A and B are shown apart, each in its own frame.
Chain A
Amino acid sequence: MKSVKLLLFVPFIGLLGFIPAANRIEPYVFGLPFLLFYIVFWMVLSSILLTVIYKLDPENRRRDS
Chain B
Amino acid sequence: MNSAMLIILLFLLFSLYLGIRAKRGKDMNMEQFAVGGRGFGTLFIFLLIAGEVYTTFTFLGGSGWAYSKGAPAYYVPAYIFLAYVLSYWLAPKVWRYAKDHNIISQPDFFASKYNSRVLGIIVAIVGSMALVPYIVIQFKGLGIIVGEASYGAIPPLAASIIGAVVVTTYVMVSGIHGSAWTALIKDFMILAIVIFLGIYIPFHYFGGIQPMFENVQAVKPELLTLSTEGLSPAWFISTVLLNALGFYLLPNSFVVVLSANGEKSIRKNSITLPLYTLLLLFVFFIGFAALLKIPGLEGADGDLSLLRLAIQTFDPWIIGLIGAAGLLTALVPASVMLMAASVGLTKSFYQVLVPQATEKQQLKVSKLFILLISFAALVLTITGGEALAMLNIMSYSLVTQLAPSLLFSLFNKNVVNKYGAGAGIIVSVLLVLFVTAKEIKISTFLPDVPHMINDISLGFIALIINVIVMLAVSFITRAFAVKSASLKEVENSILKREG
Contact = CB atoms under 8 A, between A and B. Distances in A.
Interface of A: 1, 5, 8, 11-12, 15-16, 19-20, 23-25, 28, 31-33, 35-36, 39-40, 42-44, 46-47, 49-51, 53-54, 57, 59-60, 64-65
Ranked nearest first, the 9 interchain pairs of A and B with the lowest CB-CB distance are: A31-B210, A31-B209, A65-B263, A50-B271, A46-B274, A47-B274, A20-B233, A33-B224, A25-B224
B39 interface: no
A16 B239 CA distance: 11
Contact of B89 (A8, A11, A36, A40): A8
Contacts, number: 106
B90 to A, nearest CB: 10
Nearest to A10: B85
Contacts of B82: 11-12, 15, 46
Given A46-B274, A60-B267, A65-B264, A36 B81 contact: no
A25 B275 contact: no
A53 B210 CA distance: 34
B71 A35 contact: yes
A42 B210 CA distance: 20
Interface string B57-94: 00000000000000100100110011011101100100
B382 interface: no
Interface stretch (B276-284, B317-325, B343-351): B276-284
B272 interface: yes
Nearest to B281: A40
A15 B78 contact: yes
Given A11-B81, A50-B271, 10 more contacts: A5-B88, A11-B85, A19-B226, A23-B226, A24-B225, A31-B209, A33-B217, A35-B71, A64-B262, A65-B92
Contacts of B208: 31
Contact of B240 (A8, A16, A46, A60): A16
20 contacts: A8-B85, A8-B89, A11-B85, A12-B241, A15-B78, A15-B82, A16-B241, A25-B217, A28-B213, A31-B208, A31-B210, A33-B213, A35-B224, A35-B225, A36-B71, A39-B77, A40-B281, A46-B82, A47-B275, A50-B84
Contacts of A39: 74, 77-78
A40 B275 CA distance: 9
A12 B85 contact: yes
A47 B271 contact: yes
Contacts of B86: 8
A42 to B, nearest CB: 7
B84 A46 contact: yes
A29 B277 CA distance: 19
A47 B89 contact: no
A3 to B, nearest CB: 13
Contacts of B244: 12
Contact of A19 (B88, B236, B268): B236
